[in-house]
Structure 1
Amino acid sequence: MPPYDPTYLLVVVDLVGIFVFAISGALVAVRRGFDLFGVLVLAGTTGLGGGFLRDVLIDATPPAALEDWRYLTVPLVAGLLTFVFHPTVGRMERVIDVFDAFGLSLFCVTGALKAVEYGLGPIPAALMGMVTGIGGGMVRDVLAGRPPVVFNSDLYATPALLGAAVAVGLDAASLPLGVVVVAGAGVCLVLRLLAMVLDWRAPLPHGPANV
C-alpha cells in the first residue's frame, strides 16, 4: 500500500466544498430564470471563485481549477443536477443553507492552509482562508444582480475568518492535518449555524443613513 498523502485530504475537502457551493449558485441561477448555460456558469463561479481568487492573490498560478479536471467536473455535475431537479432542491433550501455553511467551513480551512503552504504569515493566511470561503458567493451575487450576502448584517465572513485563524494556529503547532481541518472547520461551522438559528447579526449603524 502506498504511503498516505495528507494533501489528499485537503483535495477531498476542497471538492466537497466546491460541490456544495456550486449547488447554491445553480439554485440562485434557476430562480433568476437563467438558461442551462447561465446555471452552469453561476454554479462554476460560485464553486470555484473563492479558490481562484485565492490562488491568484498568493501567486499559485495557474489556479488549481485550471490544472485539475476534477475541479471543473464537480461544479458542472452540481449545476446539471440542480438544473434537472431544481423543484426538489428548492424545497430543501434550509438544508442547502446548512450545506452552504459546511462549504464555507471547508473552504476557509483549505484556503488558509494553502496560503500557509505558499509562505504567507498567520494573519494573511487567515485572511486568505476567509476570502476563499466568501469569494465565490460574492461573485455569484454580483452576476445574479443582487447585493452580496456577505455584506448583509447576517454573520457570514466572521465565522470563516475565525475558523481559518484556528486552522492556521493549530497548523503552526504541528498538529496532525486531520485535527487541524476538523477543528478549524468545526469552529466556523458551529458559529455559522448558531448565527442562522439564533439570528446573530453584526452591528449596524444607528440613525438615518442619508446624513
Structure 2
Amino acid sequence: MLQDFFTPSVQHALDLAGIFVFAISGALLAVRKNFDVFGIAVLAEVTALGGGLFRDLVIGAVPPAAFTDLGYFLMPLVATVLVFFLHPVVERTQAAVNVFDAAGLGLFCVAGTTKAYEYGLGLTFSAVLGLATGVGGGVLRDVLANEVPSLLRWDRDLYAVPAIVGATMVALCIKFEMLNPFTSTLAAVTTFVLRLLAMRFHWRAPRAWNRRSIATEEQLPGKATA
C-alpha cells in the first residue's frame, strides 16, 4: 500500500475544504435555477460528495466516507446556509470560489488516483477514477439541474483536461516508483495551474474536424434564445 503523504488530520481538513468549495458551486447553481432550500441543499451535497461517493463504490470502500464521517455530510449544509442567505455576496466573490474549486480539483484527482491504486486497480483505471473523483460531482450537479454537463460543453473552459493531466502524472509516478510528497504535490499544483490558465485565457477543447453544425453558444440547452 502507498504511504500516506499527509497526517489524517491534515488530509481530513483538505477534504473538507474541497467539499466546501464544490458545495458552494452547486448551491449557487441551484439559486440561479430558482430552487427552494431543499433543492439547494441537495445540489450542494451532490456536487460536493458525488465524485468521492462514485469512487468509493467502484473500488469497494464501503460504506463510503460520505456516510461514515458526519463532517462530510454537514459541510455542504453549511455551504447551503451561507449561499441561501448571502448568495449576492458569494456571487460577487465567484472568482475566488473558482480558484478554490481549481485547488479542490487538483487535490481530489490526485487523492482519487492514489486511493484507487491502493484498492487494487491498475494504473490506467486508477487515473480514470481519479478524474471521476474530481469531476463527477459537477456532472451530477448539471444533470440534476437539467443542463448539459459543463464537462461536455465546447463553450466552457477546460476542466477535465487539467484533471486528466494530474491523474496521469500520479499514475506515471506510481509506475516508476517516484510517488512521494513532492511529486504528488506537483501533480496537484499542475492541475490547479492548468485550470487557472484555462479560465484566464479561455482554453477550450477542439470540436470535430470539418464540422458542419451551426449551433452557437446561445442555442445550447440552458441558454436564452432570441
TM-score by length of 2: 0.85
The equivalent residue for 1:204 is 207
Secondary structure at the residue paired with 1:119?
coil
How many residue pairs get aligned? The number is 206
1:181–1:75 Cα change, 3 Å: farther
The equivalent residue for 1:91 is 92
1:120 and 2:121 correspond: yes
1:194 and 2:197 correspond: yes
The equivalent residue for 2:25 is 24
RMSD after superposition: 1.8
Instruction: Report how far residue 62 of structure 1 moved.
Output: 1.2
C-alpha separation between the residues in 1 aligned to 2:119 and 2:108?
A: 16
Q: 1:179 aligns with which of 170, 179, 182?
A: 182
Secondary structure at the residue paired with 2:204?
coil
Paired amino acid for 1:44: E
Mean alpha-carbon deviation: is it higher for 94-103 or for 128-137? 94-103
The equivalent residue for 2:170 is 167
Instruction: Report how far residue 170 of structure 1 moved.
Output: 3.1
Q: Is the 8 A contact 1:167 1:183 kept in 2?
A: no
Secondary structure at the residue paired with 2:74?
helix
Paired amino acid for 1:52: L
Identical pairs, percent: 49
Secondary structure at the residue paired with 2:30?
helix
1:84–1:6 Cα change, 3 Å: same
Paired amino acid for 1:94: A
Q: Which has the higher helix share?
A: 1
The equivalent residue for 1:138 is 139
C-alpha separation between the residues in 2 aligned to 1:66 and 1:148?
A: 26
1:36 and 2:40 correspond: no
- CA deviation string 1:63-100 (max 9, x = no partner): 11011111101111112111111010011122222222
Paired amino acid for 1:67: T
Instruction: Report how far residue 169 of structure 1 moved.
Output: 3.1
Query: Structure 2: which 5+ runs fail to align?
Result: 215-226
TM-score by length of 1: 0.90
Instruction: Report how far residue 181 of structure 1 moved.
Output: 3.6
C-alpha separation between the residues in 1 aligned to 2:29 and 2:138?
A: 11
C-alpha separation between the residues in 2 aligned to 1:11 and 1:168?
A: 23
C-alpha separation between the residues in 2 aligned to 1:116 and 1:203?
A: 31
Instruction: Report how far residue 174 of structure 1 moved.
Output: 5.0
Q: Is the 8 A contact 1:14 1:110 kept in 2?
A: no
The equivalent residue for 2:6 is 6
Q: Is the 8 A contact 2:162 2:191 kept in 1?
A: yes
C-alpha separation between the residues in 1 aligned to 2:51 and 2:164?
A: 14
